Amino acid sequence: MSYIITDECISCGICVDECPVEAISEGEDKFEIDPELCTECGSCADVCPVEAPIPADD
């Protein structure tokens, strides 16, 4: 399981440094989470101004 970043993402980049496992990177249209690395800690969702990261199994 992993968090995913929805299309709400405005590519501000704030979440990147908050991820303890460096799972977040800039994608083509928005930022993306590597599901192989994500531990579902929720830190990215806590700092995101538009609540774009959500649990994939939600």
Q: Which residues bind ligand SF4 (CB under 6 A)?
A: 3, 5, 9-15, 18-19, 21, 23-24, 31, 33, 38-44, 47-48, 50, 52-53
Structure tokens at 20: 């303890």
Question: In the complex with ligand SF4, which residue's Cβ is closer, 18 or 57?
Answer: 18
What are 32's strand-pairing partners? 25
Q: How many C-alpha atoms does 46 have within 13 Å on its Cβ side?
A: 7
Shortest distance, position 30 Cβ to ligand SF4, whole Å: 6
The answer to whether the beta carbons of residues 5 and 58 sit under 8 Å apart is no
Question: In the complex with ligand SF4, which residue's Cβ is closer, 44 or 57?
Answer: 44
